Amino acid sequence: MRIANRLALLAALPLLVSALPAQASADSTVVTRGFTHTAFFPDDICGPRASTVTWTETLAQSQLIERADGTFSYRDVSVVTYAVDFVDPALADYPGRLVEVNHYILTPGDNSFIVTNTYQDFGGDLKIWERLNLKVVSDEVLVDRFLIKATGCP
């Protein structure tokens, strides 16, 4: 699911990039707390283990900065707690906590875009780490590194 979200973001970038100069005339920081969301998943990183997951955002902060050189920097940080309720009663439900940090830098003059994402998920015995580094200049991918590691699958 996270890969699908990342691909959707990358597909939407041209629209976001075209909107940034008009929308980012002032720096802005937004902090939210307590947002709750529930979703059903037919599987997880360990395989076909259907579950309903409810997330509660402990803290989310997003910040958009227009730098003096015309570069835009967007950063968001989320700290989330969640509860996993498996459909199969033989699987133990568990609580978890995840932290995600995303940083995007756009330089309109040379059409460069840099993405750095870090994601850590600690739920029950399951531990997941993800890292993404991407650099695109004039529609050419110069750096594309993605690492995912999971431990604790039964």
Per-residue pLDDT tens digits for 47-77: 999 999 999 999 999 999 998 888 999 999 9
> If we measure between CA atoms, which residue out of 151, 154, 134, 152 comes closest to residue 143?
134
Q: How many CB atoms lie within 10 A of CB 58?
A: 15
pLDDT at 13: 45
Q: What is the pLDDT of residue 148?
A: 94
How many angstroms separate the Cα of 7 from the Cα of each of 1, 35, 60? Answer: 10, 24, 22
Question: What pLDDT score was predicted for residue 70?
Answer: 86
Angstrom CA distances, 5 to 8, 9, 11, 136, stand at: 5, 6, 10, 18
Coil, helix or strand for 13?
helix
Residue 133's nearest CA partner among 147, 112, 116 is 116
The confidence score (pLDDT) of residue 12 equals 45
Lowest mean pLDDT among 32-41, 90-99, 103-112: 103-112
Query: Of 9-13, 30-34, 36-40, which range is least confident?
Result: 9-13
Instruction: Give the distance, in angstroms, between the CA of residue 89 and the centroid of all CA atoms in the same chain.
Output: 30
Q: Are 72 and 62 in contact (CB under 8 A)?
A: no
* Cβ-contact 16, 23 below 8 angstroms: no
- Mean pLDDT value across the chain: 85
Rounded to two decimals, the pTM is 0.74
**Alpha carbons within 13 A on the beta-carbon side of 90:** 2
pLDDT at 19: 44
pLDDT of residue 120: 95
Extract the runs of DSSP E, i.e. beta strands, from 3-138: 28-32, 36-41, 51-66, 72-86, 94-107, 112-123, 126-137
In this predicted structure, the answer to whether residue 14 has a pLDDT above a threshold of 70 is: no
pLDDT band at 26; cut points 50, 70, 90:
low
pLDDT of residue 113: 92
